[in-house]
Structure 1
């Protein structure tokens, strides 16, 4: 098996993931009487023939990598371009036939023997737009099989598309975004506001679209406050980095955060990005983005998946509060916000997906 990090690999095997009870209750309706898995990171798959492999994941309450009996297509973990996004544990694929599919293959609690593959309606490309390169995918609820679930797809460029997969004769609703600052941005769903939101490049403006009507709301302009004083060397380093901005919402506290992720290209046999800095801003309803080094009990998970927040007290002893966990193709680690220290390392492979807690019925 061609795994992983620049350290000895510790493995354990189990047929089902470890479960915990959430405590305190979660504001999104999850009660303490329901079991859920801790957050996990998709690591790799161990080839077992015919293009399949047994899934390896890392639960954030363990010091070892967990090998599951679940078999997945090797290209989902070995070929970064095979998947185009992930939300609520569903990964999206876009093949040459132009059909976008949602799959639960990488979800550790989904069926081992009957994986779900949900094809969406054929994509419609607006004039002067493209639908071959996807920025990311966002779901408004935990499953596209829910009748009211809306899937949002942000393409590189002006096009943003919505559909409701569980409804009969579901068609894409396509929107052309006029402002070019959104062309390379990611879409996220705000449960608090019942809207899909997109943060413009640079993080100074947010666009929002109503969940039900898909109408665009007025732009929200952000004002950055409480900015830290940086040394000249630190500022020059950050200016030389590739920067990405991400919105993440805490469904337990109702807070919204803007995360700026700074990475620089390194060369270790192949070109990779390595985290050099990370900044978190807390947003309020007045458009203030206040720099903070204290997000309290929360832990933010940032990866190729839609970002999410987890209250650490719901998973006692399983992760660190006031941290940001990072995962991307070629890098895995975390940032301690209190002192801005970074503990991250480059990996040889891995799809770069965090999977949020999954409720067990």
Structure 2
């Protein structure tokens, strides 16, 4: 693996990212992912930060475990290079999101075929990778299906008979599909309220519905995939408390107005809690026409059944992981090395750690071609599926 890291560095595919401000976050190579974590029932949260070509358009993956934040794995895991570096693909195939460790790709050359792949899942087999092609996308009138906001799976595998895949497009369209059906087809929903047009979709295991936070976070829409309807169930949120340093309009204007904001719903399956996370990013530089951003602020609100959204700086032992994948949270105690009461952020040009208690934000830059946090995987379950 040291050879892989060296080659990644020489190729410019791995950027120096040891720029942190606290000794507690010193990032050092480790083999914990392979020697300890993989001996447990679940793999730790992780992401792919590079790959080295090994021929036949395949690459050996460099895997970063969230438990160490800088980890050289000994796993000899291979995957198609275009899944990590879209620009290396000669086909018009782009990676557009991930959920439960399944990466979604869109092939524009094949009538907009969306495919789910487990190639980037460290616990999945690279000898017999799973590739599940969904039916050609159907575009509703006055909608588009070329730009996808994100994808969400209702269970850990699209091979499950009851699994529903939700695809949120930029604009009014939301589409559902059951891949395991003998003849899967799309159910398309047209969303009327424009506050949902650019927001991501997530699956609530507690409610068995797909949910979308409206822009600004004051409204949540819920769609039951068993009874799809253009009329979602709506929940208005009442915000209580705000960060003490943002109590005045002047504070908010000076700190947050220059930022871009995104809202993310995250559900803890261990505690049953639901959180709304507001992620603020600020432009730091524009280089060669490319905008580079970093996390400026994060707000976490705990949502109850009555629609009260209470600002909190204490989520207990939980760790919330935000990326271009469907967000999720895990208990830190289950994965030694994770920092409790933290939000971990991952984007194309940044990896960050937000201590909610002190609101200290540590970020380090680089180029992350596949910024998808992969949630813990149950190894026994995957082995039973032949993964």
Normalization by structure 1: what TM-score? Answer: 0.91
Q: 1:318 to 1:185 in 2, by over 3 A?
A: same
- 2:274 is the counterpart of 1:256: yes
For 1:257 and 1:226, locate their aligned partners in 2 and report how far apart those are by CA, in whole Å: 15
For 1:218 and 1:353, locate their aligned partners in 2 and report how far apart those are by CA, in whole Å: 29
How far residue 16 of structure 1 moved from its aligned partner, in angstroms, is 5.5
- 2:174 is the counterpart of 1:163: no
Aligned residue for 2:373?
354
Aligned residue for 1:313?
333
Q: 1:291 to 1:15 in 2, by over 3 A?
A: closer
- 2:210 is the counterpart of 1:196: yes
For 2:329 and 2:117, locate their aligned partners in 1 and report how far apart those are by CA, in whole Å: 22
Aligned residue for 2:63?
57
For 2:225 and 2:239, locate their aligned partners in 1 and report how far apart those are by CA, in whole Å: 27
Q: Deviations over 1:317-350 (max 9, x none)?
A: 3211100111111110210000111011111333
Aligned residue for 2:5?
none
Aligned residue for 1:72?
79
Aligned residue for 1:89?
101
Unaligned 5+ segments in structure 2 are 1-7, 20-26, 88-92, 381-387
Aligned residue for 2:347?
328
How far residue 212 of structure 1 moved from its aligned partner, in angstroms, is 1.5
* Secondary structure of 2:254 counterpart: helix
For 1:175 and 1:268, locate their aligned partners in 2 and report how far apart those are by CA, in whole Å: 38
Query: Which of residues 199, 212, 235 in structure 2 aligns to 1:220?
Result: 235
Query: Which of residues 259, 264, 274 in structure 2 aligns to 1:241?
Result: 259
Aligned residue for 2:134?
120
For 2:143 and 2:232, locate their aligned partners in 1 and report how far apart those are by CA, in whole Å: 22
For 1:136 and 1:205, locate their aligned partners in 2 and report how far apart those are by CA, in whole Å: 19
For 1:14 and 1:6, locate their aligned partners in 2 and report how far apart those are by CA, in whole Å: 20
Q: Please say which of residues 68-77 and 238-247 is displaced more in the overlay.
A: 68-77
How far residue 196 of structure 1 moved from its aligned partner, in angstroms, is 0.3
Q: 1:300 to 1:272 in 2, by over 3 A?
A: same
Aligned residue for 2:200?
186
Query: How many residue pairs align between the two structures?
Result: 348
How far residue 313 of structure 1 moved from its aligned partner, in angstroms, is 1.8
Conserved? CA contact 1:12–1:67, under 8 Å: no
For 2:353 and 2:82, locate their aligned partners in 1 and report how far apart those are by CA, in whole Å: 26
Q: Deviations over 1:54-98 (max 9, x none)?
A: 111111233423253111122211238821110000000001111
* Secondary structure of 2:75 counterpart: strand
- 2:46 is the counterpart of 1:40: yes
For 2:67 and 2:263, locate their aligned partners in 1 and report how far apart those are by CA, in whole Å: 27
Unaligned 5+ segments in structure 1 are 22-33
How far residue 47 of structure 1 moved from its aligned partner, in angstroms, is 2.0
How far residue 13 of structure 1 moved from its aligned partner, in angstroms, is 7.2
- Which is richer in helix? 2
- 2:293 is the counterpart of 1:281: no
How far residue 114 of structure 1 moved from its aligned partner, in angstroms, is 1.3
* Secondary structure of 2:76 counterpart: strand
Query: Which of residues 312, 331, 355 in structure 2 aligns to 1:292?
Result: 312
Aligned residue for 1:345?
364
For 1:230 and 1:48, locate their aligned partners in 2 and report how far apart those are by CA, in whole Å: 51
How far residue 113 of structure 1 moved from its aligned partner, in angstroms, is 1.1
- 2:18 is the counterpart of 1:7: yes
* Secondary structure of 1:161 counterpart: strand
